[in-house]
Amino acid sequence: MIRNNTCFYYGARRGSSYLLILSVSMIIALIGLSGLIAARIDHKIATTTSDATEARFYALAAIELGIFAIDADPLNWRMAIHNGALPVDMPIGNGSLSLLIVDPFDNDLLNDSSESILMTGIGAKGIARHKVQVTVVFTGGVTSFMPGSWKQVVD
């Protein structure tokens, strides 16, 4: 009889140690999976931040393209822009840029060559999108930016 009890106790010990090892293994596996999930989240945040930064640079590049177009043809740029010579979803780097130019006063670019314009540069990269607006004034044949008119647009 004692022998059977002894075997029974040894059997219970072997089962409990197996259960203990299995529990520790599960805890270690959960810690490892948690680390992988945290690394994936960090990577996603870094990618999104990088895309947002690139989109901002593309929006600024769109404004620069607009200024270049005006300076390249100071007499006829309004007619060219009126006829659709603006970049729209133009590929650049790993994203794209677009430029919108409007007359904020009467919405007619052609009626007065001395009126200021509102330029909106739009940059896109991945899921990030960035808009920058600036008011451009024309004084004495010189193109300049209205002080304090640079702003980021949230839509």
**Which segments within the chain are labelled E, that is strand?**
90-92, 95-102, 117-125, 128-139, 142-145, 151-153
103-116 tens-digit pLDDT: 888 888 888 888 88
Is the CB of residue 85 less than 8 Å from the CB of residue 71? Answer: no
Q: Out of 68-77, 78-87, 116-125, 131-140, give the one with best mean pLDDT.
A: 116-125
Tell me the pLDDT tens digit for each residue of 73-94.
Answer: 888 888 888 766 788 899 998 9
Neighbours of 82 (CB within 10 A): 13
SS3 content of the chain, % helix, strand, coil (to 5): 50, 25, 25
Give me the pLDDT at residue 1, please: 45
Q: Taking 50 as the threshold, does the pLDDT of residue 45 lie above it?
A: yes
pLDDT at residue 8 tops 60: no
Cα separation, 87 vs 64, in Å, equals 12
Asked if pLDDT for residue 43 goes beyond 60, the answer is: yes
Average pLDDT over residues 120-147: 85
Residue found by looking up tokens 């996603």 in the block: 44
Instruction: State whether residue 103 is helix, strand or coil.
Output: coil
pLDDT of 148 higher than 80: no
| pLDDT score of 138 more than 60 | yes
> Quick one: tokens of 113?
């060559």
